[in-house]
């Protein structure tokens, strides 16, 4: 058993961790003996110590707490756990220790979110059974939640570059577009395409092409703010969503990105072979266009991307005449 006031050696880290909150040394010794070998125990004398341990040790799997303790009672500790923002801590199983005839405390603990009860005097077999059930249930729930998050991330992420995919870009774009309409703020979209990308694949191979895609993705991601979104929406095509950014601001960013890609020397597969890569860019801004959808903005940006390529590539285009705010 570990305690907040002892330097006892830690038990194997692989064991599930239980936080025991109890001010009675006799009860602590008894529960430690009952659970030894199957669980690693942390001990707190009251709710204040328990809360400090919970916030410092997110690996805690389950809490067993008495009700009546100094400073912070079991009820108060339970309320703090259930109201915290951190989902892992908020859903930590909590087993309350109480006497069999204490209906008031038992009912209040249920209302506050207790998972189960252990009645004093504590029976060893009952304790082990209840702890095992709630630990396994919590572990299963957490594994399911982790898998759900992983699947959701995979569904919205480009596996090669780690950027968002077109689906995620459109979903995020519609949200920001709704905010722009509501608060009358700016919103711009940049569409960038790697020039002559097929030549890179044909000359150096698809692995080299993938290296170029990843490197360009890093340049784009590094050039943007936290509130911006960068996505790979096609083979060699990338889109940037820029909230609170007008056409001029988008053009400034686009030109800096274009210059950064052109300046970069792409070393392929760690070899001495280097290639120079350029990109063409089309820009569309919500306040300047006759559209109110993200797909509409992307379509306009795509038309200007086509004009940028038609007019010589390695340039940006901000309007339907194919003009750029900058000389590339």
Tens of pLDDT, residues 42-61: 999 999 999 999 999 988 99
- In the chain, where does DSSP find H-type helix? 25-35, 47-56, 74-83, 87-90, 103-112, 124-156, 166-183, 197-204, 206-223, 247-263, 294-310
Please choose, from the candidates 129, 24, 130, 8, the residue with its C-alpha nearest in 3D space to the C-alpha of residue 74: 24
In a domain, 86, yes or no: yes
172 and 263 fall within a common domain: yes
Are 170 and 248 part of one and the same domain? yes
Instruction: Give yes or no for residue 275 having a pLDDT over 90.
Output: no
pTM over 0.75: no
Q: What are phi and psi for residue 232, nearest 5 degrees?
A: -100, 115
The residue among 118, 133, 155 that closes a domain is 155
- Asked if residue 179 and residue 79 are part of one domain, the reply reads no
Residue 303, domain member (yes or no): yes
Identify whether residues 149 and 210 lie together within a single domain: no
- Tell me whether residue 161 is in a domain: no
Question: What pLDDT was estimated at residue 109?
Answer: 85
In this prediction, what percent of the chain has a pLDDT beyond 90? 63
Q: Residue 103 — very low, low, confident or very high, per pLDDT cuts 50/70/90?
A: confident
User: Residue 38: which CATH number?
Assistant: 3.40.50.2300
In a domain? residue 9: yes
Task: State which H helix or E strand residue 96 sits in.
Answer: strand 94-99
Same domain? 210 vs 240: yes
Same-domain check for residues 194 and 92: no
Give the residue numbers marked as catalytic: 236
Assign 1 a pLDDT band (cuts: 50, 70, 90).
very low
- Asked which of 117, 134, 155 is the last residue of a domain, the reply is 155
Structural domains of the chain, count: 2
Query: Which tens digit of pLDDT belongs to each residue from 206-242?
Result: 989 999 999 999 999 999 999 999 999 999 999 999 9
- The yes-or-no verdict on residue 112 having pLDDT over 90 is no
SS3 at position 73: coil
* CATH code, domain with 196: 3.30.70.270
Of the three residues 155, 175, 196, the one that is the final residue of a domain is 155
Residue 55 pLDDT: 92
Q: Report whether pLDDT(12) > 90.
A: no
Q: Are 300 and 180 members of one domain?
A: yes
Give the pLDDT of residue 198: 94
Confidence band of 272 (pLDDT split at 50, 70, 90): low
Average pLDDT over residues 272-277: 82
Range of the domain at 175: 166-317
């Amino acid at each position: 058993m570990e305690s907040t006031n002892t330097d006892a050696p830690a038990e194997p880290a692989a064991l599930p961790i239980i936080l025991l909150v109890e001010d009675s040394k006799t009860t602590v010794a008894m529960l430690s003996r009952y659970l030894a070998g199957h669980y690693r125990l942390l001990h707190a004398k009251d709710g204040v110590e328990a809360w400090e341990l919970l916030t410092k040790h997110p690996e805690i799997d389950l809490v067993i707490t008495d009700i009546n303790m100094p400073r912070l009672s079991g009820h108060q500790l339970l309320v703090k756990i259930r109201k915290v923002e951190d989902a892992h801590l908020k859903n930590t199983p909590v087993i309350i220790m109480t006497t069999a005839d204490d209906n008031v405390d038992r009912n209040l603990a249920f209302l506050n979110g207790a998972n189960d009860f252990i009645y004093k005097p504590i029976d060893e077999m009952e304790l082990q059974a209840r702890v095992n059930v709630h630990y396994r249930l919590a572990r299963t729930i957490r594994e399911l939640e982790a898998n759900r998050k992983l699947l959701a991330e995979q569904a919205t992420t480009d596996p090669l570059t780690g950027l968002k995919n077109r689906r995620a870009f459109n979903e995020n774009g519609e949200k920001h577009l709704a905010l722009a309409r509501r608060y009358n703020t700016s919103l711009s979209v940049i569409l960038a395409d790697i020039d002559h990308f097929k030549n890179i694949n044909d000359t150096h191979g698809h692995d080299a092409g993938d290296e170029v895609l990843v490197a360009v993705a890093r340049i784009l991601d590094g050039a943007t703010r936290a509130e911006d979104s960068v996505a790979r929406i096609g083979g060699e095509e990338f889109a940037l969503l820029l909230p609170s950014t007008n056409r001029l601001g988008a053009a400034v960013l686009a030109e800096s990105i274009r210059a950064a890609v052109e300046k970069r020397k792409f070393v392929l597969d760690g070899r001495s072979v280097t290639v120079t890569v350029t990109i063409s860019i089309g820009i569309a801004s919500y306040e300047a266009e006759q559209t109110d959808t993200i797909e509409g903005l992307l379509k306009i940006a795509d038309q200007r991307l086509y004009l940028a390529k038609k007019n010589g590539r390695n340039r940006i285009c901000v309007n339907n005449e194919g003009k750029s705010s900058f000389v590339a």
